[in-house]
Amino acid sequence: MKKQRTIMLIDMQSFYASVEKAGHPEYKDRPLVVAGDPARRSGIILAACPLAKAYGVTTAEALWQSLKKCPDLVIVRPHMRKYIQVSMQIKRIIESFTDLVEPYSIDELFADVTGSLHFYNNDPFELARHIQNRISVETGVFARAGIGENKVIAKLCCDMIAKKNSEGIFFLKKDELDQHIWHKPTRDMWGIGSRMETHLYKMGIHTIGDLAHTPLFKLRNKWGVNGEVIWRVANGMDDSPVSVSTHHMQKDIGNGMTLPRDYSEARDIEIVIQDISTEVCRRARRKGLMGSVVSLSISGADFDHPTGFHRQMKLEDPTNLTKEVYEAAKRLFYINWDRQPVRRVGISLSGLTDADTYQITLFDDKNHLRAIDKVMDSIKDRFGDTAILRAASLTAAGQAIDRAGKIGGHYK
């Protein structure tokens, strides 16, 4: 008989805000938020500490809304490099308890602790408390742990129970879903957005229990594979292992940015497309990869009446050359742009293959393009991202200089 696994989903409370408070003891008893730069359209709350949340401050709301609720907010600009370093430190701490650790996001990790329980009297609570204490002592961050027999139950347990109790730990057994989970509305379930909630409501599915007891064929007929996925989550069914290699197989390389103002001129948007193409291709070259599909996403400036598109183009041969990706993205832009103001641009390269093997042709000058990209990469690696730039990046529309000081769109 196969041994039942014990899986934890370990989540960091108000991660960015907790890291900032750990580094600034003077803020310990003050409501603190981490927020983007208001002057660049990104003035939203990225994280709020529990004291700020007590005033009604919520993640993703505008900074000005939060200040109305709590005028005494301590506002800290994000420091992404520090958050990444602490996230890696926490991963190493958990790996000292089990070698089966799978990052789910920057502040959430799955851990299969089945083989470690005998060191802790076969008590998952005791083990969770040890992990929680180590993380707190070494980083100043409070960790919560949802525990279950698989990743889905551990995630449901953490999100709906462990995050809401004072200890921050809960062990949810599969045969107790009806006691702790099924009475909750579908919107509380991980994977259900507002649109899906509306569709489910129209089908008479109001709670997670309703979803769990809906005949599977109805959900598959309605949403295909995704219908089965939400049904399996509601029923706590998941056979996937905690895998240390889950995130090693990269499917695409992408980059995107929200613009500091509405861009209405085609030439200005071209410059942004060029800047982002440059960064995407540089990342691809650094990883030794090429891609055969270029995707372009454009979002309009009007939040109430969304405009924009997401389109992709298959290339004749895989590439990581900046000029080729830029030309493909630019072509997608002119074919699909509705001439409405643009607020966000994103580009990705998929269909990835090894860059060591590529097609040689007689009638192009790709070796020359490769040499240019190689020289630019070398200069940037040695002297910094702004050491060499295309002239267009220095115009008012260019964003390369600003982005060089950020990670993931936020300040380092």
Question: Residue 188 annotated as binding?
Answer: no
410 — pLDDT class (breaks 50, 70, 90): low
pLDDT, position 42: 52
Share of the chain above pLDDT 70, in %: 85
**What is the arithmetic mean of pLDDT over 327-349?**
92
Which pairs from 165-169 meet CB under 8 Å and 24+ separation? 168/13, 168/132, 168/142, 168/143, 168/144, 169/125, 169/128, 169/129, 169/132, 169/144, 169/145
Q: Is the pLDDT of residue 119 over 70?
A: yes
pLDDT beyond 90 at 41: no
Q: Of 133-142, 172-181, 189-198, which gets the smallest average pLDDT?
A: 189-198
Closest CA to 139 of 14, 11, 18: 18
pLDDT, residue 134, reads: 96
CA distance 398 to 272: 6
| Residues forming beta bridges with residue 11, ordered by sequence position | 108, 144
> Which range has the worst mean pLDDT, 82-86, 139-143, 192-196, 401-405?
401-405
User: How large is the average pLDDT for residues 57-82?
Assistant: 90
The pLDDT of residue 239 is above 70: yes
Asked if residue 389 has pLDDT above 90, the reply is: no
What average pLDDT does this structure show over 230-234?
95
Mean pLDDT of 382-401: 59
**Is the per-residue pLDDT at 248 higher than 70?**
no
Residue 11 and residue 103 in contact, taking contact as beta carbons nearer than 8 Å: no
Active site residue 108: yes
Is residue 11 part of an annotated ligand binding site? yes
**Which two tokens mark 212?**
């769990």
Which of 4-13, 317-326, 378-387 is most confident? 4-13
Q: Is 82 within 8 Å of 60 (Cβ atoms)?
A: no
Residues composing the chain = 412
Is pLDDT of 110 > 90? yes
Strand partners, 212: none
Q: Which long-range contacts (CB under 8 A, 24 or more apart) does 22-25 make?
A: 22/139, 22/140, 22/141, 23/82, 23/140
pLDDT category of residue 369 using cuts at 50, 70 and 90: confident
How far is residue 373's CA from residue 76's CA, in Å, rounded to a whole number? 37
Cα separation, 355 vs 321, in Å, equals 11
Mean pLDDT for the chain overall: 86
Is it the case that residue 354 has pLDDT exceeding 60? yes
Q: What is the mean pLDDT of residues 195-212?
A: 93
pLDDT > 80? residue 372: no
Report the alpha-carbon distance of residue 383 to residue 68 in Å, rounded: 44
- The whole-number pLDDT of residue 69 equals 94
Give the DSSP letter of residue 215: -
Q: Residue 218 — very low, low, confident or very high, per pLDDT cuts 50/70/90? A: very high
Mean pLDDT calculated for residue range 242-256: 74
Q: In the chain, what's the furthest Cα-to-Cα distance?
A: 70
Asked if pLDDT for residue 328 goes beyond 60, the answer is yes
Average pLDDT over residues 40-58: 86
Average confidence (pLDDT) over 207-225: 93
Average pLDDT over residues 270-277: 92
Cα gap 194→185, rounded to integer Å:
12
User: Is residue 391 very low, low, confident or very high in pLDDT (cuts 50, 70, 90)?
Assistant: low
Residue-range domains of the chain with CATH: 1-173 (3.30.70.270), 182-234 (1.10.150.20), 252-411 (3.30.1490.100)
Q: Among the options 20, 102, 108, 324, which is catalytic?
A: 108
Give the pLDDT score at 355. Answer: 77
Which tokens in the block code for residue 221?
């007929």
Residue 388's pLDDT is: 59
Task: Identify the band that residue 303 occupies on the pLDDT scale cut at 50, 70 and 90.
Answer: low
* Residue 150: per-residue pLDDT: 96
Neighbouring-strand partners of residue 148: 7
Alpha carbon separation from 127 to 100, 149, 366 (Å, rounded)? 15, 15, 56
- Name the nearest CA neighbour of 74 among 13, 16, 126: 16
Say yes or no to pLDDT of 401 above 80.
no
Task: Find the helix or strand (DSSP H, E) in which 69 lies.
Answer: helix 63-69
With a cut of 90, say whether residue 360 has pLDDT above it.
no
